[in-house]
Amino acid sequence: MPRGASERGISVGIHDLEVATSHFVVSLSELAEHNGTDPAKYLIGLGQREMSFPAPDEDAVTIGAEAAAELLARTGVEGITTLLFATESGIDQSKAAGLWVHRLLGLPASMRVAEVKQACYGGTAALQAAAGMVARAPQERVLVIASDVARYALDSPGEPTQGAGAVAMLVSAAPALVELDPVSGRFTAEVDDFWRPNGMLEALVDGELSVAAYLDGVESSWLDLAARGGPSVERLAAILFHQPFGKMAQKGLRRLSSVVGRDLDGAGNTAGEAINSRMGNSYAASVYAALAGLLEYGLGEEPLSTGDRIGWFSYGSGSVSEFLTGTVGPAATTRSGSGGIAAKLDARAALGVPEYRALHTARGETPEVTDRLLPRTTRGRFRLAEVRGGARRYEGV
Ligand code: HMG
């Protein structure tokens, strides 16, 4: 029997994962004060305290490369045949963002690299594609990077739900962190809840519709999972949600509670919400950042145990939803209590609201193809150094 195989078939899932975020952070209390908004609206109404904000020489490539570099320092690159880069903050209509990461990390030439897009669902689409590749060739490993910069217009309702973050995941047979269950629940419905037409840097959004579409996705993907014989909620030690803002995860849990006819309050991932409330929306990475938080901080006071089954809801506007479940592996306990994600969030440089607004405006006014040299701002190890003839040159330290 090949490595990782069992009577249930090949065991495939997330062997290891790592989170990264941007150089800057903006306080939402300060943003509220500037906007003349009651800070409680952001802190309690949305469940958000801070938002990560990229330096001018950062983007989804540099943040994604950071997460992957840290991950690969632990796992090595042996057996990695594919890099799937999931993002909706694409910086090129043609060339995959993962190609720059491939160069920055000195990855082997004998790999395939591609970009995956479906709004915030892209990370899950890449994870599922990776799982399929590994199931076909269990000796191979796939690097999935979900990385995004969530950007809305200044003074728009979406502004306090901006953020930036990446999660890199190594997908393999016999995974040490989370083994994916073979069955998942899916739901797709074309809807104009959130979109970013070509040439636009900022997403357009119908906020109310987006919340309703997300909750429809929770209900319909759960019912699909149940119809396919997925586990009952009683068997899930924790349930995670895509988190455009913390309160949305709570709304998702409430909708699921009403669908299954049971109060699920204790199953919510408060650790994931605490991380998200500081990082903001990281789109494709968001639900996997919640997973990283769950693995690091456990559920409430309790760390996760090997064999615990967890569920997670992935949503991408437009819209595609998927409810996945999986079993926690032995490496989960070694991550518990490390405080690694909080340390990264603490390390960000505070950006005052006037400076944040100036950077936001300057980014919006600079066409992507404008020739420019970017002075070093980020303390991160990877940065965008130059744009020349529309081509981007990144550098690492
Ligand atoms: P809004 O109109 O500014 O806010 O937009 P609101 O008036 O609806 O208030 C929000 C909450 O704050 C409400 O609570 C208020 O009651 C409360 P709720 O009724 O929802 O429980 N509130 C207060 N609470 C305490 N003290 C106060 C106070 N005032 C009000 N003083 C909206 C909110 C989410 C629509 C906006 O931020 C937005 O457009 N965000 C972007 C879109 C979004 O995140 N949608 C979520 C679902 S879609 C999704 O997740 C996909 C996405 O990630 C993209 C992708 O897939 O790529 C976005």
Q: Give the structural domain span for 145.
A: 12-177+340-396
Q: Could you tell me if 31 and 142 lie in one domain?
A: yes
Domain total in the chain: 2
Please indicate, yes or no, whether residues 186 and 322 belong to a single structural domain of this protein.
yes
Residue 109, helix vs strand vs coil: coil
259 alpha carbon to ligand 1 midpoint, in Å?
A: 22
Question: 4 versus 134: which is more confidently predicted?
Answer: 134
The residue nearest atom 14 of ligand 1, judged by CA position, is 45
Domain end marker among 335, 360, 381: 335
Q: Which of 130-144, 255-269, 283-297 has the highest mean pLDDT?
A: 130-144
> Is 360 found in the same domain as 303?
no
Tell me, what CATH number does 241's domain have? 3.40.47.10
pLDDT, tens digit, for every residue of 94-118? 999 999 999 999 999 999 999 999 9
Render pLDDT for 227-249 as a digit per residue (tens, 0 to 9). Answer: 999 999 999 999 999 999 999 99
The 3-state DSSP class for residue 189 equals: coil
Residue 149 has pLDDT above 90, yes or no: yes
| In-domain check, residue 4 | no
Residues 136 and 185: their CA atoms lie apart, in Å, by 22
Whether 304 is covered by a domain: the verdict is: yes
Q: Are residues 201 and 70 in the same domain?
A: no
346 and 356 assigned to the same domain = yes
CA dist., res. 107 & res. 277, Å (int): 33
Q: Which residues contact 358 (CB under 8 A, 6 or more apart)?
A: none
Asked whether the predicted pLDDT for residue 39 surpasses 90, the reply is yes
pLDDT of 6 reads: 52
Picking from 335, 357, 375, the residue at the C-terminal end of a domain is 335
* Same domain flag for 23 and 170: yes
- Of the listed 18, 50, 58, 88, which one is catalytic? 88
Q: Which of 41, 214, 241 to mutate to test the pocket of ligand 1 (most atoms within 8 A of CB)?
A: 41
- Give the binding-site residues of ligand 1, using a 6 Å CB cut-off: 38, 40-41, 44-46, 88, 119-120, 157-158, 161, 194, 205, 207, 210-211, 214, 242, 244-245, 247-248, 281, 283, 315-317
CB 274 within 8 A of CB 298: no
Which one, of 8, 7, 106, 19, lies nearest residue 290 by Cα? 19
DSSP H or E run through 271: helix 270-279
- Residue 318 and residue 184 share a domain: yes
Given this model, what pLDDT does residue 5 score?
Answer: 52
Cα separation, 261 vs 203, in Å, equals 36
The answer as to whether 237 is a domain residue is: yes
Averaged pLDDT, 142-163: 98
Average pLDDT over residues 61-78: 97
For the chain, the straight-line distance linking the first and the last C-alpha, in angstroms and rounded, comes to 43
pLDDT at 251 over 70: yes
Specify whether 296 is located in the same domain as 312: yes
Residue nearest to atom 13 of ligand 1 (CA): 45
Same domain, 224 and 82: no
6 part of a folded domain: no
**How many Å apart are CA 337 and CA 30, to the nearest integer?**
30
Same domain, 232 and 254: yes
Residue 335 has a pLDDT of: 73
**Is 155 found in the same domain as 47?**
yes
Q: From 87, 161, 191, 195, give the residue whose CB has the most ligand 1 atoms within 8 Å, as the site to mutate.
A: 161
Strand order of the β-sheet with 391-396 is: 372-373, 382-388, 391-396
pLDDT for position 270? 73
Please indicate whether residue 18 is annotated as part of the active site.
no
Q: What are phi and psi of 274, to 5 degrees?
A: -65, -40
Distance 43 CA to ligand 1 centre (A): 11
